[in-house]
Amino acid sequence: MTKNLKRVIWSVLILGLVAMAIFAWFVYGAVLSPNTAFNNNEAHVYIPTDATFSEVMTELEPLLKDGESFRMVADRKGYSSNIKPGHYVLRKGMSNNDIINTLRIDNRPIQVKFNNQERLENLAGVIASQIEADSLSLITVMKDTAFLDEAGHTDDSALAMYLPNTYELYWNTSAVEFCKRMKEEYVKYWNEDRKAKASAIGLKPEEVISLAAIVQKETAKVDERPRVAGLYVNRIKRGMLLQADPTVIYAKKKAEKDFDQVIKRVLYRDLELDSPYNTYKYTGVPPGPISMPDLSSINAVLNHEDHDYIFMVADVSNPGYHKFAKTLAQHNRNRAEYVRWINGQGVNR
């Protein structure tokens, strides 16, 4: 073998080693070495539906040490042209390869919570703050006639379908998917046992929720709710007017299209308001819930206390609770005490 040939072979070997070293540097440096820049153990990334790679990079770059190396690996692995929307959790010390694999397959669900909303509009706002769908798309589906018909609800009873709880959902859940899930949860909640209890009272499931909303407005004390519920069940069974002040307040707000006003005292003239929500004029429960009741309030109606009370008034000696009466005479004495107290507080409205 000539010296020149040896030189050529050695040169080729050296160039090969250099190329291998460069490739190894690329694999380790660009693909496998840590490329996170956040100090916490993890970071949450939210990628919208139909996001471009440029929008993804805007979200990711504050979390990366080297954005350019991520771009290069994303291109080589085909991620930049195949973006998946969702909520992803990056861990400290992840490599570009780890990050891309996570963004491809590990869409993490989130915990969506809501309770005590007075209207669908309020609920839509609360949900929109937690998932990708905006409040406009949510309220549009919530009030969609076809959706309500399919769910067996009306515009008045629509709020009853959304049971306050914590639900596991994907962040990129659409408005349609969210409402469909809530309908499924509603159907699941109303099992045969609960429907039988509602039937025993003489109410449909949505009417139970309407009554539960009144019970919750009447008392914030969870331990008192079964007793309050029992009082209203007694009135329903006797064909009496419910005469619940919270329904009058709701009717007034609805008539004036002002749900933000604060009304602390119901006046005699308010009782004459002609509204199906005014339980001083119309028997039975209102056509829909005046607010979103807790599950504890719904349970209080289904498992109401069995007693003979048909009247109640706030107990001034035990704030938050009520005095109950079986007769009008007894109730009038309790009520007189309450009126004297509230007049002394200077509450006119």
Domains and CATH numbers, the chain: 21-105 (3.30.1490.480), 109-189 (no CATH), 202-345 (no CATH)
Dump pLDDT digits (tens) for 92-114: 999 999 999 999 999 999 999 99
With a cut of 70, list the residues of the chain below it in pLDDT: 1-30, 346-349
User: Are the C-beta atoms of residues 267 and 137 closer than 8 Å to each other?
Assistant: no
Within the chain, residue ranges assigned H as helices are 3-26, 53-60, 67-76, 96-105, 120-128, 135-142, 145-151, 175-189, 192-201, 205-218, 225-237, 245-256, 295-302, 328-345
Predicted local confidence at residue 16, as pLDDT? 47
pLDDT of residue 186: 97
DSSP 165-216: EEEEEETT--HHHHHHHHHHHHHHHS-HHHHHHHHHHT--HHHHHHHHHHHH
**What pLDDT was estimated at residue 13?**
52
Helix, strand or coil for residue 347?
coil
- Residue 150's pLDDT is 95
Burial of 221 (0-12, 13-18, 19+ CB in 10 A): middle
Structure tokens at 280: 């001083």
Give the integer Cα–Cα distance in Å for 349 and 347.
6
- The string of DSSP codes covering 134-172 is -HHHHHHHHT-HHHHHHHT--TTTGGGG---EEEEEETT
Q: Which two tokens stand for residue 300?
A: 């209080």
Cα–Cα dist 244/285, whole Å: 10
Nearest to 187 by CA among 213, 161, 207: 161
pLDDT of residue 18: 47
Per-residue pLDDT tens over the stretch 25-38: 555 455 779 999 99
Tell me, what's the pLDDT at 260? 87
Is-contact 155 143, C-beta < 8 A? yes
pLDDT of 268 reads 86
